[in-house]
Amino acid sequence: MSSGNQRQLFETDPAPWEMDEAQEGHVAAVVFTEGPTDIFHYSIPDDQLDKVAVGKRLRVPLGRGGRVNTGYCVAVETRASLGRIKYKLRDIRGVLDAAPIVSSEMLRLAEWMAEYYLSPLGPTLESIVPAGVRGQAGTRQVTLLTVPNRVAARLTQLKLPPKQRAALEHLVASAEPLTAQQVAKAIGSTTAPVNALREKGLVDEQLARVATGDPDESSVARTEALPLNDAQQAALTTIVESLEAQRHEAILLHGVTGSGKTEVYMRAIEEVIQYGRQAIVLVPEISLTPQTCERFRSRFQRVAVLHSHQSDSERHWYWRRIAAGQVQVVIGARSAVFAPTPQLGIIVVDEEHDSSFKQDMPPRYHAREVALYRTHLANAPLVLGSATPSLESYFLAKKGRRRLVELPDRVLNLPLPDVTAIDLRTEFRSEYYRGAISRPLEQAMRLALGEQGKVILLLNRRGFSTHIQCPACGHVAKCPDCDIALTHHREGDCAVCHYCEHERPAPASCPECRFDGIRYGGLGTQKLEAEVRGRFPEANCLRMDSDTMQKAGSHEAAFARFRNGDVKILLGTQMIAKGLDFPDVTLVGVINADTSLHFPDFRAAERTFQLVTQVAGRTGRGTKGGRVLVQTFSPEHAALQAAMQHDYVTFAEGEIPIRGQFGYPPTGSMVRLIIRGESERLTLQFAQRLAEEVRSGFPANCAVRVLGPAPAPIARLRGKHRFHILLSALDRRVLRSGVKAAREAIGQPPDDVQWVVDVDPLDML
Ligand code: ADP
Ligand code: ZN
């Protein structure tokens, strides 16, 4: 631990009598969540020593003024172990937490993240602990009731009125203490019978802090494990071997859509629970549907679901239950990888290729990589499941660093759906082509609906396809702050920036050339919805995208309507491509595959392959079969060809060498530096200096590519200019040390210029 720049807070060297040569007592090493990023040391007064512990937050003075700040205690050491230091240590002022809010295991995880993602330890710790837990959100004192054994033992002999008996029996049967209100609700009465039991001394009372909200713990019908097929059994055996050996191993479960991966996860988790350990299942936020959660709830008793719609107090409530070992399975999006399970037995990352596992704010971690290190610390297996593994994971599997297990077929020998391309170039020339839905697709939709099937239409809006363009001069309306095309919204007839939410009335004529036939060109989900409603007035159609799905619970409601047949056509963005399991979807249409194919990102082909494969996977899951029609201007593209053949391996084997030519992942490693600021000139100047420092920071003989600075594809965002520098090399350690060296050398950027480091970037905009 270095006391680094602590000295800089004192402008002059201390006088000799200020030197601290004490050898007695203890010191706390502290990091802060904002401001200075070094580790600071404070002495602990003897009477506070038993209160201080690693993982608690301390109140300590900082800076010349000695303003009191909160920091995390990351080590407690003896004063002697620090040796002679040139300034006087100050005392801590107080201890904020009664118990550590970060365990030593999580501290090690945070230290690893800080190192790997080049992010300071303090903010990294802060990102591990949810805000609700830090603030003890939404807890209140309640009285919890239990039935003492002496009462439970003679339950049948007790003479009680029926309501009181029902209350008592409910409490005896409950696995955990309950409040009077919970009992009353369960037996459908007031709290009077419960209070009568309390007065008679038949129940024990204890005070506890619980969440003010009462998270939904409604019980779900149990389901039994399904008999596994041979491939599933082989996958399970591989995982169980690693569990029994208590050996860390990363297993890549490559199973086509509908091959029964979830069933394998659940069986592996059953094993884990038998050892008294806990499981964490990470899914993309979008897949946190009631459907997924119910599947786990129906198999396991104590499941905690963590998602972003939860209030702080709900999170806190789950966090405490998880930390107390009362939860067997934690299901959640990215940040659930930090769930404080006391004895972690396995982590499953489902849809491991999904980009939502990467956090786009500091510390910009990828939950898959964090899960890898966490399972390494816990000697537990990590299971990465996907129908379309990330090329990163596949590449490592080929090199023997991930154990590859395959489920090549759908369960019950269901066939994979037929995928056919519709060449839009031909369609466009035809006089029948009107709007977004080609003639073959329209016919297929009529056929499917006529046979009582349901239809999913995917339109990935990321392709700038709702832009406002003048057909006379070609002018495209753009956001003044973000330099991206504005999107036309029908409701309110306005033009909206999808990065900064800048909004203005849609122009009636071209602002450039005054031509008054400006087109609200391209196609968005709203426009597609109008077209579908016009052509299929009798089939109810529902649109799902981030505009219509903002309210908590709106996904659930939408899926429920699709499931029960109230809605026959579901259309939307990639939100609808993942994880859904509806047996009677017989047709999937991809409206325009090119929107993702020609995106300015080296992963565009991979993303398109994934998207088409995933959305195709939503059909043919029942006895009625299913087919997929993909509209595109480039049907010969390798990614689409492979997706049509359901041939992941051919796609991966073809794509990896292309990446290799340019030093892109998975062959190489990448770090992206993003520099932004209000003044274009100052920002670019700093970016150039930074690039020079980075270039000169690497030893001459090592193979590192440094590109840039170049304007980022989104050159302006929220009023700031953005530049980026891309670094790639075969060895990521070289990259990290180079960036560290540059960071030391360059010092503070000018006011109003900021820069961030993104290790293993996914978002290249
Ligand atoms: P994946 O996660 O690979 O897409 P799922 O686990 O969702 O696949 O399984 C698809 C469907 O098949 C589910 O409805 C599941 O209940 C069912 N299923 C899974 N394993 C079996 C099995 N061994 N026998 C019968 N049905 C199964
Ligand atoms: Zn904008």
Give the model confidence (pLDDT) of 190-240 as tens digits: 888 988 988 888 888 776 655 544 444 555 677 888 899 999 999 999 999
Ligand 2 centroid to Cα of residue 502, in Å, is: 5
For residue 309 the two structure tokens come to: 């719609």
Asked whether residue 252 is assigned to any structural domain, the reply reads yes
**Rounded average pLDDT over 726-754:** 90
My answer on whether 678 and 619 are in the same domain is no
What pLDDT does 72 receive?
A: 96
Residue 686 makes CB contacts below 8 A (sequence gap 6+) with 675, 677, 749, 750, 753, 755
Asked whether residue 495 is assigned to any structural domain, the reply reads no
User: Which is more confident, 517 or 730?
Assistant: 730
Q: Which of 226, 259, 411 to mutate to test the pocket of ligand 1 (most atoms within 8 A of CB)?
A: 411
What pLDDT does 19 receive?
A: 54
My answer on whether 408 and 430 are in the same domain is no
User: Which is more confident, 752 or 485?
Assistant: 752
Nearest to 217 by CA among 248, 176, 245, 246: 176
What pLDDT does 520 receive?
A: 64
Nearest to 578 by CA among 286, 291, 334: 286
My answer on whether 206 and 240 are in the same domain is no
Q: pLDDT class for 18, splitting at 50, 70, 90?
A: low
Rounded to whole angstroms, how far apart are CA atoms 184 and 163? Answer: 9
Ligand 2 centroid to Cα of residue 495, in Å, is: 11
C-alpha dihedral over 587, 592, 594, 600, to 10 degrees?
-110
Asked whether residue 256 is assigned to any structural domain, the reply reads yes
Closest ligand (CA of 407): 1
Q: Is the pLDDT of residue 252 over 90?
A: yes
Q: Is the pLDDT of residue 61 over 70?
A: yes
pLDDT tens by residue, 625-634: 789 999 987 8
**Rounded average pLDDT over 390-414:** 94
Pocket of ligand 1 (CB under 6 A): 226-229, 232, 255, 257-263, 411-412, 581
pLDDT tens by residue, 555-569: 778 888 898 889 999
Ligand 1 centroid to Cα of residue 422, in Å, is: 31
Phi, psi of 752, deg, nearest 5: 75, 5
Place of tokens 């008999």: 227
Ligand 2 centroid to Cα of residue 521, in Å, is: 19
My answer on whether 636 and 682 are in the same domain is no
pLDDT tens by residue, 270-294: 999 999 999 999 999 877 777 788 8
Nearest to 11 by CA among 71, 87, 104: 87
Nearest to 414 by CA among 287, 583, 246, 561: 583
**Amino acid letter, 418:** D
What pLDDT does 225 receive?
A: 83
What pLDDT does 365 receive?
A: 97
What percent of the chain lies above the pLDDT cut of 70?
A: 89
DSSP SS3 for 502: coil
Nearest CA to ligand 1 atom 20: 260
What's the domain range around 750?
669-759
Q: Is the pLDDT of residue 20 over 70?
A: no
Q: Which of 263, 292, 349 to mutate to test the pocket of ligand 1 (most atoms within 8 A of CB)?
A: 263
Q: Where does 269-388 show beta strands of DSSP type E?
A: 278-282, 303-306, 329-332, 344-350, 381-386
My answer on whether 332 and 359 are in the same domain is yes
Considering 146-155, 468-477, 610-619, 678-687, the range whose residues carry the highest mean pLDDT is 678-687
Q: How many domains does one find in the chain?
A: 5
Spatial contact of 701 and 683, defined as CB atoms under 8 Å apart:
no
Nearest CA to ligand 1 atom 12: 260
Asked whether residue 74 is assigned to any structural domain, the reply reads yes
My answer on whether 673 and 652 are in the same domain is no
My answer on whether 166 and 29 are in the same domain is no
What pLDDT does 14 receive?
A: 47
Q: Is the pLDDT of residue 65 over 70?
A: yes
Spatial contact of 196 and 171, defined as CB atoms under 8 Å apart:
no
My answer on whether 201 and 262 are in the same domain is no
**Range from 33-37, 105-109, 114-118, 471-475 carrying the lowest mean pLDDT:** 471-475
My answer on whether 546 and 568 are in the same domain is yes
User: Which is more confident, 110 or 81?
Assistant: 110
Domain-ending residue, one of 79, 100, 121? 100
DSSP SS3 for 626: coil
Domain-ending residue, one of 211, 238, 269? 211
Asked whether residue 63 is assigned to any structural domain, the reply reads yes
Ligand 2 centroid to Cα of residue 480, in Å, is: 7
**Range from 87-96, 403-412, 590-599 carrying the lowest mean pLDDT:** 590-599
Closest ligand (CA of 622): 1
Which atom, in ligand 1's list, is nearest to the CA of 262? Answer: 6
Q: Is the pLDDT of residue 458 over 60?
A: yes
Ligand 1 centroid to Cα of residue 450, in Å, is: 28
Ligand 1 centroid to Cα of residue 262, in Å, is: 7
Place of tokens 């119910």: 294
Which atom, in ligand 1's list, is nearest to the CA of 232? Answer: 23
Q: Is the pLDDT of residue 21 over 80?
A: no
Spatial contact of 585 and 456, defined as CB atoms under 8 Å apart:
yes
Closest ligand (CA of 408): 1
Rounded to whole angstroms, how far apart are CA atoms 464 and 485? Answer: 7
Domain-ending residue, one of 347, 380, 412? 412
DSSP state of 224: P
Nearest CA to ligand 1 atom 17: 260
**Rounded average pLDDT over 519-523:** 60
Closest ligand (CA of 229): 1
Q: pLDDT class for 524, splitting at 50, 70, 90?
A: low
Which atom, in ligand 1's list, is nearest to the CA of 350? Answer: 2
Rounded to whole angstroms, how far apart are CA atoms 489 and 466? Answer: 9
Closest ligand (CA of 718): 2
Which atom, in ligand 1's list, is nearest to the CA of 617? Answer: 4
Nearest to 546 by CA among 473, 462, 432, 668: 462
My answer on whether 649 and 698 are in the same domain is no
Ligand 1 centroid to Cα of residue 264, in Å, is: 9
Q: How many CB atoms lie within 10 A of CB 639?
A: 24
What pLDDT does 630 receive?
A: 95
Place of tokens 């069933």: 263
Q: Where does 437-576 show beta strands of DSSP type E?
A: 454-458, 487-489, 494-496, 503-505, 541-544, 569-572
What pLDDT does 214 receive?
A: 41
Residue 363: cis peptide before it, omega within 30 degrees of 0: yes
My answer on whether 290 and 403 are in the same domain is yes
Which atom, in ligand 1's list, is nearest to the CA of 255? Answer: 3
**Rounded average pLDDT over 688-694:** 93
Q: pLDDT class for 241, splitting at 50, 70, 90?
A: very high
Residue 276 makes CB contacts below 8 A (sequence gap 6+) with 343
What pLDDT does 463 receive?
A: 38
My answer on whether 183 and 299 are in the same domain is no
Q: Write the CATH number for 343.
A: 3.40.50.300
What pLDDT does 77 receive?
A: 93
What pLDDT does 3 receive?
A: 40
Considering 44-48, 631-635, 699-703, the range whose residues carry the highest mean pLDDT is 44-48
Asked whether residue 516 is assigned to any structural domain, the reply reads no
pLDDT tens by residue, 142-176: 778 888 888 888 888 888 899 999 999 898 888 78
Ligand 1 centroid to Cα of residue 258, in Å, is: 6
Q: Which of 236, 256, 262 to mutate to test the pocket of ligand 1 (most atoms within 8 A of CB)?
A: 262
Spatial contact of 587 and 453, defined as CB atoms under 8 Å apart:
yes
Asked whether residue 485 is assigned to any structural domain, the reply reads no
600-602-604 Cα angle (round to 5): 70
Asked whether residue 355 is assigned to any structural domain, the reply reads yes
Q: Where does 333-476 show beta strands of DSSP type E?
A: 344-350, 381-386, 403-407, 418-423, 454-458
Rounded to whole angstroms, how far apart are CA atoms 239 and 228? Answer: 14
Spatial contact of 354 and 284, defined as CB atoms under 8 Å apart:
yes
Q: Write the CATH number for 724.
A: 3.30.70.600
